[in-house]
Each structure stands twice: as structure tokens, then as C-alpha cells.
Amino acid sequence: MSIDRIRRIPFPENITNNNSLAIDSEKFKNRDIGEYSKFVSKHSNESFIICACGVSLNDYDNFDNHITIGVNDAGKKVWCKYLVVVNEPSTFKFKRWPDVQSNNSEFVFTHMKTLPIDNPEGRIIKVNLGKYEGVDLDNYGFIDYTTNSPYMAIVIAYQMGARKIALVGVDFTMNHFFGETGKHQIMREIERVKEQYSVLGKALTEKGIKIANLSKDSLIESWPKMTLQEFETI
């Protein structure tokens, strides 16, 4: 089930999160988080870049000095070590699915029970959804979400141990990096989306995580805009 559909389902009232959960495998080894447990704190104190599919992704060729988490077909432009795919194949317009399906990321994170992507040696990693519009970052193994998949990628980066996180391609301007696709469908609720990223950014900075937006034209103004070179020095 795609994120767009899940957001319309009321979240169970009896499910609670635990902000006090420590980054300690003993604390969650008996929780149903499966292979995801191997990725908690895997990249402690490292720098992450979240690669989405806006036009600003074309400003870059690689992010060799950073851990990259891409969404959907971002790997068509830059190599992404990890990929987040949370939408069903049928929801991808502009013949995008083949590029998602043929991605060469090392691991693919998804909440869906089945995802038609090659899965050699357990490459597909299942995640549990947390709360819609949540910022319960320390609920390891549960990923809070919105209708926009980079949000989940950011939470995953935090749980992997990120010291700093930058966005690229999270633009919400006209078109995608690969062609003239017109207005982003999420524009109909852009003010809510901007607030979601603002709240998430604040939650991260309160935990000492440095954040940045590498797109000068992105509508996400709450994340400080800077160049890649500037991000590498903070």
C-alpha cells in the first residue's frame, strides 16, 4: 500500500512511541523490526545527503564524501547507496517505474509487503511505519512519514546515526530532474508540506543534527540553504 493511501487511514490510538529508547541493539532486538536493526547507528556521526527527484538534482554529479539515500528514481542521476521506495509501481507516471526497478542501490527500504525489485542477498529491507507527520525520531525501527518520501529518508538517516543531513531535489518547483513533467502534484498542499519539513528540521536541530538544503530554488525555506562546499564545512 502506498503512502498516499495510508495517510487516509486513521492511525490506531493504542499505538504509542517511546522517545526514551536508547541506541542500543539490546533495547530493540525483540521488536519486530527485522533486518532493519542492522542499520541502526550503522553510519554513526557521518554526513548524509537525501536525494529526491526535483530539478536541483541536476546540479550535482556525485556525493562521494557522503552517505546518500535516494528516493524512487533519483539513482538515475546520482548513485545512491540506499533507496527509499514507498509507492506502488502503478502510481509512477512518465514511465518512471523501470528506472526505479533497475536501481543499483545497495539496499532498498520499503514498508510494502511486496515490491517487484530484484532482491539478491536480501537487498530489500522492510521498515515499520510510525506516525503520520510524526517526529518521534528515537523510536528506532519505526519510521514516521508524510505523503512525501524524502521525509522518511531523513528519519532513516537519523536512525542510522547521521551527524548532519542535507536535502537536494526536495524542490516542489516545476518539473523533475529528468524532464518537463509540469507542476508537482503535492503543490495542492504545499503549505502543509513546508510546515512538515519545518517541524522535522527543528526536531533534528534540537538533537544536535546540522541540516541544510542544497537547492537554491527549493520551496523548503526552513532548512538553511547553502552550497555543497559550505555544507561540507559545517
pLDDT band at 182 (very low <50, low <70, confident <90, very high): confident
pLDDT band at 93 (very low <50, low <70, confident <90, very high): confident
pLDDT band at 188 (very low <50, low <70, confident <90, very high): confident
CATH 3.90.1480 fits 3-7+42-233, yes or no: yes
Q: Which of 23, 61, 55 is nearest to 42 (CA)?
A: 23
Q: Is residue 63 pLDDT above 50, yes or no?
A: yes
Mean pLDDT, rounded, for 53-82: 95
Higher-scoring residue by pLDDT: 180, 166: 166
Q: Is residue 114 pLDDT above 80, yes or no?
A: yes
Specify the pLDDT at position 31. Answer: 60
Specify the pLDDT at position 94. Answer: 74
Residue with cell 530554488: 217
Instruction: Judge whether 46 and 166 are in contact, CB under 8 Å.
Output: no
Q: Which residues make Cβ contacts (< 8 Å) with residue 231, sequence separation at least 6?
A: 47, 164, 166, 212, 214
Domains of the chain, by residue range, sit at 3-7+42-233
Distance CA 118, CA 124 (A): 8
Q: Is residue 27 pLDDT above 70, yes or no?
A: no
Q: Report residue 86 CA to chain centroid gap.
A: 10
Specify the pLDDT at position 17. Answer: 31
> What pTM does this model have?
0.87
pLDDT band at 181 (very low <50, low <70, confident <90, very high): confident
Q: Is residue 166 pLDDT above 90, yes or no?
A: yes
Higher-scoring residue by pLDDT: 208, 19: 208
DSSP per position, 58-118 = GG-S--TTSEEEEETTGGGTS--SEEE--S-GGG--TT-HHHHHT---SEEEE-SS---S-
Specify the pLDDT at position 167. Answer: 98
Q: Is residue 107 pLDDT above 90, yes or no?
A: yes
Backbone φ and ψ of 47, nearest 5°:
-100, 130
Specify the pLDDT at position 14. Answer: 32
Specify the pLDDT at position 9. Answer: 39
End-to-end Cα spacing for the chain: 38
Specify the pLDDT at position 2. Answer: 53
Q: Is residue 15 pLDDT above 60, yes or no?
A: no
